[in-house]
Homo-oligomer: A and B are copies of this chain.
Amino acid sequence: MTAPRALRATKQRAAVSDLLDRLADFRSAQEIHEELRRQGEGIGLTTVYRTLQTLADGGEVDVLRSAGGEAVYRRCESSAHHHHVVCRRCGAAEEIDAPMVESWAQEVAEKHGFSEISHTVEIFGVCRACT
């Protein structure tokens, strides 16, 4: 195994990863950048975007779109396919899995003649803390 992974261990990548570990909320790239700067990390916005992109591609973080259309990121516990209940006030999220919804989606799509199926299922609400 000649590690095909060409990722280099940099301070910036670690900083983003560490911050994600400490957050339980979906956050935008800009918010993450701002927070890291506040903590005194020297990191550029470009790098934050790039790092989040990389993490997302590797399935290490979940990405979804906020109501405003901007991408928000969060470290997920499980690397398996799952969905979220997200607080629309603070972004806090809990993971859920829904086997029955998975099969339902597959079935419905096939019935309509669609193939190569994917789906988005997210539940939004206001969490206990924000009520």
Residues of chain A having any CB pair with chain B under 8 Å: 65, 69-71, 85, 87-88, 94, 96, 98, 100-101, 104-105, 108-109, 112-128, 131
Contact = CB atoms under 8 A, between A and B. Distances in A.
A78 to B, nearest CB: 16
B128 A119 contact: no
Given A87-B114, A131-B115, A109 B125 contact: yes
Given A85-B112, A88-B116, A120-B124, 5 more contacts: A65-B69, A69-B71, A85-B108, A87-B114, A109-B123
Contact of A123 (B96, B114, B128, B131): B114
A119 B124 contact: yes
Nearest to A121: B121
Contact of A113 (B104, B120, B128): B128
A105 B123 contact: yes
9 contacts: A69-B71, A85-B108, A105-B123, A109-B123, A114-B123, A118-B124, A119-B122, A120-B120, A120-B124
B112 A94 contact: yes
